[in-house]
A = this chain, B = another copy of it.
Amino acid sequence: MKSHTEYLFFQTPKRREFVNITSDCERILHESGIQEGMMLVSAMHITAGVWVNDNESGILEDAMEFLERLAPKADYRHHRTGEDNGDAHLKNLLVHHQVIIPVTGGRLDLGPWQTIFYAEFDGQRRKRVVVKVMGE
């Protein structure tokens, strides 16, 4: 069994943003040399997520608006700590912070429209994602 771990760093210009990381994941898989296995793509922060969906700008705007509707900026208990990002923790709850991509025949075994997005809900600061491939 082989494993290979890399970290992706982000400092998004906007507070909320989807960043397409599919080609980063493909590069990491290539560097790992793994042909069969699984790749974990997991945000290391609690105000971000990872989502697999279509790279269509309308969907990404719809999704961000949807998350804002369900988990709006508001006055949360968390703000008693001095933070103002309570909504970002709830958006993380909805989107989740990780996905697993199957690796088959040396390739990310994604459907034709599946794109891997880092989902930032409290950006403009340095954030990190761990990408770990395990297999043979």
Q: Give residues in A with beta carbon < 8 Å to B.
A: 1, 3, 5, 36-38, 40, 42-46, 51-54, 56-59, 61-63, 66-67, 70-71, 76-81, 86, 89-90, 92-100, 102, 104, 109-111, 113-114, 128, 130, 132, 134-136
Contact = CB atoms under 8 A, between A and B. Distances in A.
B46 A63 contact: no
Q: How many chain copies does the complex carry?
A: 3
A133 to B, nearest CB: 10
B98 A134 contact: no
A87 B32 CA distance: 37
Contacts of A100: 40, 42, 98, 100
A109 to B, nearest CB: 6
